[in-house]
Amino acid sequence: MERRRIGSLEVSVVGIGCNNFGWRIGANETKQVVDAALEAGVNFFDTADIYANGESEEYLGQALGRRRAGVIVSTKFGLPMQDGRQGARPEYVKQAAEDSLRRLRTAYIDLYHLHKPDPATPIADTLGALNDLVQAGKVREIACSNFSAAQLREADSAVSPGAARFVCVQNEYSLIHREPEAEVLPECARLGLAFVPYFPLANGLLTGKYRKGQPLPDNSRGKDQWGPGVFTEPNLEIVESLIEFASSHGHTLLELAVSWLTAKDRVASVIAGARTPEQARINASAAEWRLTKDQLAEIERIAGGSMAVRTAT
């Protein structure tokens, strides 16, 4: 599988988002998904301390076992844990990292994200604590998530000379949610940051299994807390047109959604979740479609206005 750079790291162009681990699937199922992903060439696994209140990290660490050194593990801190701990204060940054290291059964984190900005803590203080982790060999590269372009600029200007700086930002981005295109992606290009899109399949809307006029399955993402904002009639109309376009070129909607993202200059890896080994294999092969300029232009004609009809925040 093609690999791209996030700072000093080389990651597979398709990764596994680990939010299902511990939440929708157990430890044994997690291992099956990880095994299938590794066999398919995936080396990038993205989790967070809040996913299933730490169980995602635990299950990932168990599943990787002795294979840990051959993969890139990304995790995050800062959102509220079940015990109420949260934020980006220096003392908490270091404690959260130690907790993640323990759960992941590893001596180091490859890519450590601040999960969201903490307005109560100066970003320079957080960066200082993260740099200490890098200097101690406990973190290889640092990153952020859910940052605006202005916040990226602020963070870049707050880095001390010679200290670690953010090498990547992870924000929501898909054919349905286009917000990063306005300011964040141009800022990534200016600062030399990689970009990792989360929700690349728009909460399942771009998998191809949800069709206009058909009821949502009982276990659908469209029925949980994440889905209703994107499962709208206008978006389902766009999906029908995208399915027709992909099919006319011998591909699926999922392959279109992933390949469209990998065609973006700053995108380093597309991290889609998987609940089964088959889903992991399908996701891993989804980036093989090399879209032409004409095809990208046609996709833009079909979906270019999709952000305007998305109602989720």
Region of 202 on the Ramachandran plot (φ > 0 left; ψ -120 to 50 alpha; else beta): left
- Asked whether residue 140 is assigned to any structural domain, the reply reads yes
pLDDT in tens, the chain (313 residues): 999 999 999 999 999 999 999 999 999 999 999 999 999 999 999 999 999 999 999 999 999 999 999 999 999 999 999 999 999 999 999 999 999 999 999 999 999 999 999 999 999 999 999 999 999 999 999 999 999 999 999 999 999 999 999 999 999 999 999 999 999 999 999 999 999 999 999 999 999 888 776 776 666 555 555 555 788 888 899 999 999 999 999 999 999 999 999 999 999 999 999 999 999 999 999 999 999 999 999 999 999 754 433 322 2
- Asked whether residue 60 is assigned to any structural domain, the reply reads yes
Is 92 catalytic? The answer is no
- Asked whether residue 142 is assigned to any structural domain, the reply reads yes
Q: What is the total count of domains within the chain? A: 1
Residue with tokens 């980006």: 88
The overall pTM is greater than 0.85: yes
Residue range(s) defining the domain that contains residue 199: 3-204+256-290
- Asked whether residue 46 is assigned to any structural domain, the reply reads yes
Given the residues 51, 59, 92, 112, the one annotated as active site: 51
- Say which CATH number the domain at 99 has: 3.20.20.100
- Asked whether residue 83 is assigned to any structural domain, the reply reads yes
- Asked whether residue 225 is assigned to any structural domain, the reply reads no
* Residue 33 and residue 280 in contact, taking contact as beta carbons nearer than 8 Å: yes
- Asked whether residue 210 is assigned to any structural domain, the reply reads no
